[in-house]
Structure 1
């Protein structure tokens, strides 16, 4: 099958400098894997800088003057963000920062589809290290997990780390190939690719899958379909009431935060899910609108980073611009909508009928996420052996509260596999 490859230049280089200690591939790798540094061609970066420098002033309207952002991103934020993008943002500085961590490109074929998959990794040299695969969502990317990499590097060295950490770019996102252009593609296909990647890295005996947003569906699919996936940790579960649990208004076991989370989830469905319906029903049109329009992308994605996070730990403008620049420069946006076709008319309908996960499952709930469930509901989703309801944090906990998320993941893994045996 034909697949779309991002129009990028990858500079394949030996693992040198800061990459070397953590960049040694496991000895049992069976895939063609190339250590890589990420670099966007100069002419692409120059065109991007020219596009944002030539953007005209925005038209002020009553809707975009509302600073509570009930109608979307506001004029003041857009003007400030654009000015920062023009005057203070450096893509080459982003590349230099990102390339401090080991990156790789893997070539694999799944169901007759040839793909190049980018992934970032910290490989341990311990023979019994537990592989943990982190799966991002939309509008996220591998960039979400850089702070967790920094935490793990401060905790361990390659000789002592009890974990391999692998962060793939899902097909269609950033530096990975896009899905096929001659057939449909969905979460099941992406999950099969991720399983092939992890098995090809030598982790066929077992790995732990972790995810939020779209990544949570990938992780759950792996838990249900792959014998190699031994456990799953989620930081996102759709607010779909499982059969047999009491209605929230009659459930006296729910905590005040449980009720707040369910109310926020319902408010999201009522007033903030239009983007998902558009991406699911008219992805082709929206792709044309946003693909060559960095300022349009700033509004479309910037809104999500503003609205889906804990207001007490707002993401910095630099963080937001880094994610949006990465999407634009890698031509990600039109390649990344495919997951929404499966959820286009009702958010996450498949969650109501998905089989229960019988493998060990952990769930970290962050109250400012778009969707969340009480512990009793999570127990119906899977074999819940770890649960943590946080007081802070939103849809992007790896960016907002990386210490808390990593502490949960590590606690879950240690609790589930106390002797490091998967």
Structure 2
């Protein structure tokens, strides 16, 4: 079944796109991987539990096994085939005099009342995070019954999208402008919903405040909310355990983010030089931030995409806003309180699984759901739950939200 009918109201003319690297690029990668060296055994890299934020990082034996599998078993061509089983597009979006070539995957519906959804990833994620959820949708619905138009962009600087500009600073607000222009240009000027985790949660929040066409926001991350002045004793046991995870992340788990924010040039150049270095840095996050560790091939998919698209060094610029010289967190800032309908899905192994009442202080929380499982990569880890949340949230806020003028 084909989900490739672009809405008739679209002003943009997306160009079909296919993922493909040349045989020469693939062979070069294999040679680079083959000669990438893994550091010697140390006390630290043999005594680590990557699921624990107080650990010392990625396990050397895991990295050695992953390298062997990457070299001898992994097949990037299969991943390209999976990517290309969906409708992929690129389109030019101009912002502040710069032409962004934005890649996105789409499931377009033929239903007249289909609700547009922008699903926004973060770091170290990509559009690949959402493919499992898109599988659920296209198995459950036909183009005539799909209740959504689903747009999954590669954020500026990530994957098959270009950017950010080389001659100026760029930030989360700029990312939000590009996404809004994409959604409006695809014909959704009358309204869409933004959904995000990780950096996508910040973009979604900015869209909910600044973009007229964004009528509602759904998040599964609300990092930055402080427990200061709140009654911890009133929380459930699971909420208390989750807050301990948040505390451990703040104390021992965010060194990577401080490096991204304070030395982006250095870490960008280092991790662009070796596939094994990139795998160690990124693989640790997928293992540590997930409830149940993803299959190795899924981790390798993400890292290989970053390698072939040279994404790492050009994707970490938002961290300067969060951990740079003058850090800015949007969530406690009243100007980024979302007055439009806000939804929140709570997963116990998120980085910052804060209680719903705390999230309600940052916006007009009209829908929430607490899950007993799941971590930071909600759509990737629990695609069926993610799709159900989207269905139920949309039923709760639409069409009332779409008619509101804010």
TM category, shorter: over 0.9
The secondary structure found in structure 2 opposite 1:258 is: helix
Task: Provide the rounded CA distance (Å) in 1 between the counterparts of 2:344 and 2:190.
Answer: 23
Instruction: Give the Cα separation in 2 of the matches to 1:114 and 1:354.
Output: 32
**Partner residue in 2 for 1:10:** none
SS in 1 for 2:394: helix
Change (3 A) 1:259 1:350: same
Question: What's the secondary structure of 1:352's corresponding residue?
Answer: coil
1:239-274 CA distance string (max 9 Å, x none): 4238xx84244x52x111221121110110100110
SS in 2 for 1:320: helix
Check conservation: 1:145, 1:398, Cα contact below 8 A: yes
Unaligned runs of 5+ in 2: none
Which residue in the other structure is 1:101 paired with? 86
CA contact (8 A) 2:320 2:327 kept: no
Checking the alignment, whether the CA contact within 8 Å between 1:367 and 1:394 is kept in structure 2 is yes
2:164 aligned to which of 173, 179, 192: 179
Could you tell me which of 369, 377, 389 is aligned with 1:388?
Answer: 369
Correspondence for 1:228: 213
Root mean square deviation of aligned Cα: 1.6
Deviation at residue 68 of structure 1 after TM alignment: 1.5
For 1:264 and 1:315, the matched residues in 2 are separated by 19
Q: What is the match of residue 359 of structure 1?
A: 340
Establish whether residue 398 from structure 1 lines up as the match of residue 379 from structure 2: yes
Cα offset for 1:413? 0.3
* Displacement of 1:87: 0.4
Indicate if the aligned counterparts of 1:129 and 1:163 stay in contact, CA closer than 8 A.
Answer: yes
CA distance in 2, matches of 1:335, 1:354: 30
**1:389 Cα deviation after fit:** 1.2
3-state SS of paired residue (2:212)? coil
Q: Partners in 1 of 2:367 and 2:390 — Cα distance?
A: 9
Decide whether the 8 Å contact of 2:36 with 2:275 is kept in 1. no
Cα deviation for residue 343 of structure 1 reads: 0.6
CA distance in 1: counterparts of 2:353 and 2:290, whole angstroms: 14
Report the 3-state secondary structure (helix = DSSP H, G, I; strand = E; otherwise coil) of the residue aligned with 1:105: strand
- Note the 1:8-407 alignment, pairs <5 A: 21-69=2-50, 70-241=55-226, 246-249=229-232, 251-252=233-234, 254-310=235-291, 313-344=292-323, 349-355=329-335, 356-407=337-388
Residues in 2 aligned to 1:332 and 1:354: alpha-carbon distance in whole angstroms: 33
Conserved 8 A contact 1:269-1:347: no
Tell me, in whole angstroms, the C-alpha distance in 2 between the residues paired with 1:410 and 1:348: 33
Taking structure 1 as the reference length, the TM-score comes to 0.91
Q: Whole-Å Cα distance in 2 between the matches of residues 189 and 406 of structure 1?
A: 28
**Mapped partners of 1:370, 1:359: distance in 2:** 25
Q: Which runs of 5+ in 1 are unaligned?
A: 1-17
Describe the SS at the equivalent of 2:330: helix
Give the superposition deviation at 1:183.
0.3
Give the alignment's TM-score, normalised by structure 2. 0.94
State the alpha-carbon separation in 1 of the partners of residues 13 and 43 from structure 2: 55
Counterpart of 1:411 in 2: which secondary structure? helix
Q: Residues 272 and 348 from structure 1, CA distance in 2 versus in 1: closer, same or farther, beyond 3 angstroms?
A: farther
Shift of 1:421: 5.3
